Homo-oligomer: A and B are copies of this chain.
């Protein structure tokens, strides 16, 4: 979900801010990966994520089941980002009249499969005909104790789940007319919403969290803007996917891994437990400092920021 300010600087985010400003006090919900809303005694997290043929994927790259899985995972990742418990999805599909019913059913099957991995159901949907494939997924969860973007404190450490750059490595291969590395392709086609991981991080004191959809540096900038801090990232510490180069790990979007600010005393014992439990690395990539924006270091010296993934 792309939401209200505070977002980092950037033309895409300016556009979003301008659209949202039109709403004034008719908007509510905050500036996180999810909107946080109260309904009676329940605190809910809600989000929406649209995937569009030609923007987020090309038809030749993915099977229908993978397109569905990926779109569902993207929406569920927004719930993970605030440590919400996923409950249900609404799915709006725009599909071509020429698409056989089987393919639409396979796509929905992919959404159902990823939802099932985190205990969510598909609650309903809409279906329209469209030349380009559209998959818009709204996700709902319960979030009694949400972890938001705005809680990072000076002295916290920044951690990242998984190894980054795989989706961009796959994307780059496709755009160059090559077949991607098998593992990189799988990172693009089958991202894992880090729901259990987020809950574990919450239980271990997470102060601020965001999922990596715009890219590590770009999302760190959102977290910095929301928390009123500076995120200092040591490039050499960012875990890099085997099929990616280090620049891809900094700039690549749609990772659906988590960037989290943990208290300073969170350390090696904890990460060992995390890695054993989830079969996933948790890597320390930097620190939260006073100031604003993102500082990228290489061997301790500041270097230029990469440009994050942009839709606009």
By a beta-carbon cutoff of 8 Å, the part of chain A in contact with chain B is 1-4, 12, 15-16, 18-24, 26-29, 34-35, 37, 39-42, 44, 46-50, 52, 55-56, 87-88, 90-94, 97, 101, 104-106, 108-109, 112-113, 115-116, 121-132, 134, 136, 138, 140, 142, 311-312
Which residue of chain B lies nearest to A141 when distances are taken between CB atoms in the complex?
Answer: B39
Q: Which B residues lie within 8 Å of A34 (CB)? A: 124
Q: Give the docked Cα–Cα distance between A48 and B75 (Å).
A: 15
Structural contact, B88 and A29, CB atoms closer than 8 A = yes
Structural contact, B29 and A39, CB atoms closer than 8 A = no
Structural contact, B91 and A35, CB atoms closer than 8 A = no
Which residue of chain B lies nearest to A13 when distances are taken between CB atoms in the complex?
Answer: B127
Most buried by B among A20, A34, A35, A123: A123
Q: Which B residues lie within 8 Å of A131 (CB)? A: 132
Structural contact, A134 and B50, CB atoms closer than 8 A = yes
Q: Which of B97, B108, B311 contacts A20 (CB 8 A)?
A: B108
Copies in the complex: 2
Q: Give the docked Cα–Cα distance between A94 and B54 (Å).
A: 12
Q: Give the docked Cα–Cα distance between A87 and B91 (Å).
A: 19
Structural contact, A138 and B22, CB atoms closer than 8 A = no
Q: Which of B105, B122, B127 contacts A27 (CB 8 A)?
A: B122
Nearest Cβ in chain B — how far from A77, in angstroms? Answer: 13
Structural contact, B50 and A105, CB atoms closer than 8 A = no
**A123 and B87 in contact, given A93-B19, A132-B132 (Cβ under 8 angstroms):** no
Nearest Cβ in chain B — how far from A58, in angstroms? Answer: 15
Q: Which of B35, B88, B127, B129 contacts A124 (CB 8 A)?
A: B35
Most buried by B among A1, A23, A101, A104: A23
Q: Give the docked Cα–Cα distance between A12 and B127 (Å).
A: 9
Q: Which B residues lie within 8 Å of A22 (CB)? A: 105-106, 108-109, 112
Q: Give the docked Cα–Cα distance between A52 and B97 (Å).
A: 14
Structural contact, A88 and B125, CB atoms closer than 8 A = no
Q: Which B residues lie within 8 Å of A50 (CB)? A: 92, 94, 126, 128, 134, 136
**A124 and B92 in contact, given A22-B108, A23-B112, A134-B134 (Cβ under 8 angstroms):** no
Structural contact, A3 and B125, CB atoms closer than 8 A = yes
Q: Give the docked Cα–Cα distance between A101 and B46 (Å).
A: 25
